Structure 1
């Protein structure tokens, strides 16, 4: 895709699952990657895998619930490459529990990672992007649950709906600086975490397939394709939008648990 080759790109939660798929696709497009993860070993393994493919990639450990660590991460990338061109806010967590049982500690933990980290990472990157003639591109990972609400996921649903609002409002503030910010909202994607949920009986995909028009799980590369499109110059006129890549199920809803 036009406009990714040679760009510096940060992927949070980039060591596994959807994040790893995004890292791979950005690498294939020629980006210089910083793979951020709380699991430094996993980030290093992914970076080494990409380096063996002939691309420039390195691991960076950060706890994204800590604003000081977020700022240090962005400073590191800018000082290394003298630019920060692409930021992918991907790291996140889902906790399934009835709202009446969801305590404050779990709520704050989820919101800190799913929403607060996205806001402050975007803010830190934008401070540098504002000084760049070409601006920059930010893509946040939302969820189809931001539109299609299901039980036992209330804080998760709220956090992802807020991500859609975050990209809309920051697009208004930052468009004048040629900073674009968008979101991708995946449906069910075949990752190790989802496969475990299916194996453990937590996720009933046969029931879900009844209201998913495409009747299948998505692949990580399908999500990565949408993310890279929004990060590329192909999407130079797009900002403040949420792209649903969900096999159609956000139009139908999901069966109750």
Structure 2
């Protein structure tokens, strides 16, 4: 029963945070304040607190505005569900047996991964809807990643764990420089045609967050998946070769996957050369 309560709490927490992330992804690209009350896109009615309960309110109202009864976009519903599932995936991975053998380092990693998942989801939907990656989220991601690696390095004392933590910090800085430098170069030499400046800033953040070699795996998966989906859209007439591609969508999705399987994929690939 304690397992069920723990995982249920994590999913609910994720859906609540997802509600806020949906607001960030929708307002920051349009330079709107995030402090304003939510309102209906059609009639402008300010939504009450009981209309904003994650997932439940949308389902209870049948996806309609309580006042004008027009259909509401399921955008926020999807953000809330996806964030809840992302939080749940992190909890399942790091805490397969909740409340057993948990130490401070695992708790720190858990909170950091939830933070990264939140950043990734906000960037994913902002880029998907507006083709813009908000600087505010990038700055928060860089600051949070630096804080985590520094805490890990200084908080472990002078031990083997501390050496590994310092190694992780240095490799993360290296990954940030390499990934960011590569994308900034693409942006500079193509004058923004191949890669946007937002993607370059995002690569800097992802390099710092994932470290080496995870960032390399994430970049490979994002380029591969982006190419496959992009060519598929062109083939079915949904896009052209000149269409703008929200590459941040592929970068964040592949980076989230690499939190779980990045090192395993790298080890599998390197095993062919041993």
- TM-score under structure 1 length normalisation: 0.33
More strand by share: 1
- Decide which structure has the larger Cα Rg and report it: 2
